[in-house]
Amino acid sequence: MRLYYKPGACSLASHIALQEAGRPFDIEAVDTAAGRTEGGADYRAINPKGYVPALLLEDGSILTEGPAILQYIADSHPEAGLAPVPGTLARTRMQEQLNWIGTELHKAFGPLFREDSTEADKAKARIDVAGKFDLVEAQLEDGRAWLVADQFSVADAYLFVVANWANFTGIDLAGWPRLAAFVDRSAAYPSAQAAMRAEGLIQ
């Protein structure tokens, strides 16, 4: 398999999941603005949507959309324990988390990364993100270490990557101590360390 990624982007969650799965894979960076891969290929010929992640499968087909890729990795490597068993309520809860992170929290950060955003746009986005963080903080009030079934899952990988963007967009996680502890805990996870190191995000 080959993961097409952009350092620190949402594709980092898929990278973490692949590291956790423990199977061989390659990575190739993408300049999404230029539409070219690190090797010089036209990325839109690989993924017409133009964004990351995309996963090249063993049969030569391409899978896109982060939550779908995360669930594929979990399901194709069940021994890694990256998701609860299909058909259980815990599995549905994990999918609930993935959907919310992708459609609400991830999306809320959008204006903070767009070059054409005004300062007013960014201020509103920080308020929106704060509201989403309040919801996550409330979930973590029961003392759970991870989002679902007390085990690290692909939903945790995704939440970690998106919540960690706070550190690059002027949002102080100190206002959400349980979420801040979750981010620190996730960042120390061996698979997260390996993925971040491979993407040049840490030494």
Q: How far apart (Å, rounded) are the C-alpha atoms in residues 165 and 56?
A: 26
Angle between helix axes 154-164 and 89-100 (nearest 10 degrees) is: 20
Q: What is the pLDDT of residues 2-32, one digit of tens each?
A: 999 999 999 999 999 999 999 999 999 999 9
What is the model's pTM?
0.97
Q: What is the pLDDT of residues 43-80, one digit of tens each?
A: 999 999 999 999 999 999 999 999 999 999 999 999 99
Among all chains, which residue has been given the structure tokens 């509201």?
131
Q: What is the pLDDT of residues 82-108, one digit of tens each?
A: 999 999 999 999 999 999 999 999 999
